Amino acid sequence: MRFILCILCLSASVVFAESKIYTLTLASSWGEQIPILGSAPYKVAKLAEEMSQGRLIIKVDLPQKHKAPLGIMDMVKEGLYDIGYTTPVYYKGKDYKLVFFMTVPFGMTTTEQYAWYYYGGGKTLSEKVYAPHGLISYPGGSVGISMGGWFKKEIVSLEDLKGLKIRISGQGGDVMARLGVNALSTSPGELYMAMETGLLDAVEWISPAFDMAMGFHKVAPYYYTGWSKPSGEGQYLVNQKKFHTLPQDLKRILESAIKITARELLDESNDANAKTWAKMQHEYPHIKINHFPKEVMNALKKAAHEVEEEQANKDALYKEILESQRSYIAKIRPWSMMGEVDYLSEIAK
């Protein structure tokens, strides 16, 4: 047993800080080559370490190490990792409700989704979904709205979609499938090759900054506008048992490091998209920006509604979240339109 000299104890204003070092492991879905997402978990780790004076250490493993970019949720659930950095839609096969915490087709934008999550009941619903898995989920940062994807051929009618092999993640894939599309969930590292060799006819990935880094513009000239992922929210999953081994201050520090990194990820994405979009227009004039035809958009909306109704009939909690999001959109959308959309449209006139 050792004694130390407590030089600070001479003053009355002294607290005895817990000083054990806690080390947590984190598995990420995205490697260093993926812009912005690749570096995000390192930012969480750095900030947590700084705020805790080195008492909270997070060790990050990338897919090349853990080999399971689409299996993060299970690894954290089983305690193989303490934290996962991933996105809820990768696990819709296990629990379809998870899609609500990323984004749904024709759903909320990032600002709307955050208002719903923090002030409209979303957080409580998230806890209802994740607690039975032994997990705590935090919004992990949005890349903003996603584009509708890169297509090798122009889509003029519904007929053109039939039989197309498209990589499209999340609920968008199930919606597209109803229109006769062969919706695939090819893993990120294989996408470019699949497009080049014809295994894929189209790919929905994210938005300009992320898409151009993947090189899709070299193999597919038609770039469609967004409908499937109005907000691309990631998530940090934390093993609940492990979380509760942390002292109170480190719990708050971990949450805060996640929250700040998540918010600044949207800024970084918007900045990168702005730059890439400007560059695209300039350097790649062959890229054709298209809206899907009205006929296709209507069919997508109808199919999205059908997918939702089907799930709602199977799962009461899914239904509760669906209704929460739908009624929230009904309330917040008129303000989105009256506020920023009106401003940006009016001053552009």
Q: Which of residues 155-214 bind a copy of itself (CB under 8 A)?
A: 207-208
Find the binder of a copy of itself among 282, 285, 286, 348 (CB under 8 A): 348
**Least distance (Å) between residue 119 CB and a copy of itself:** 4
Nearer to a copy of itself (CB atom), residue 18 or residue 154: 18
- Binding part of the chain for a copy of itself, among 59-67, 81-89, 225-233, 315-323 by CB under 8 A, reads 225-233
Give the footprint of a copy of itself on residues 59-98 (CB under 8 A).
none
Q: Does 15 bind a copy of itself (CB under 8 A)?
A: yes
Distance CA 122, CA 100 (A): 9
**Least distance (Å) between residue 189 CB and a copy of itself:** 26
- Binding part of the chain for a copy of itself, among 13-21, 26-34, 125-133, 313-321 by CB under 8 A, reads 13-21
Distance CA 334, CA 260 (A): 28
Q: Does 1 bind a copy of itself (CB under 8 A)?
A: yes
Distance CA 241, CA 238 (A): 9
Q: Does 145 bind a copy of itself (CB under 8 A)?
A: yes
Contact by Cβ (8 Å): 49, 250: no
Distance CA 105, CA 297 (A): 11
- Binding part of the chain for a copy of itself, among 63-71, 172-180, 235-243, 324-332 by CB under 8 A, reads 324-332
Q: Does 308 bind a copy of itself (CB under 8 A)?
A: no
Distance CA 61, CA 84 (A): 10
Give the footprint of a copy of itself on residues 281-300 (CB under 8 A).
281, 289, 291, 294, 297
**Least distance (Å) between residue 242 CB and a copy of itself:** 16
Contact by Cβ (8 Å): 228, 104: no
> Over 164-220, what HEC string results?
CEEECCCHHHHHHHCCCCEEECCCHHHHHHHHHHCCCCEECCCCHHHHHHHCHHHCC
Give the footprint of a copy of itself on residues 262-281 (CB under 8 A).
263-264, 266-268, 270-275, 277-278, 281
Contact by Cβ (8 Å): 236, 84: yes
Q: Give binding residues for Na(+) as ranges.
A: 205
Find the binder of a copy of itself among 160, 196, 249, 320 (CB under 8 A): 249
Helix or strand (DSSP H, E) at 319: helix 316-336
Going from the C-alpha of 140 to that of each of 41, 137, 304, the distances in angstroms are 9, 9, 25
- Binding part of the chain for a copy of itself, among 27-35, 89-97, 110-118, 235-243 by CB under 8 A, reads 110-118
Q: Does 244 bind a copy of itself (CB under 8 A)?
A: no
Q: Does 306 bind a copy of itself (CB under 8 A)?
A: no
Strand partners, 26: 60, 83
Distance CA 163, CA 159 (A): 9
Distance CA 210, CA 216 (A): 10
- Binding part of the chain for a copy of itself, among 58-66, 171-179, 238-246, 256-264 by CB under 8 A, reads 256-264
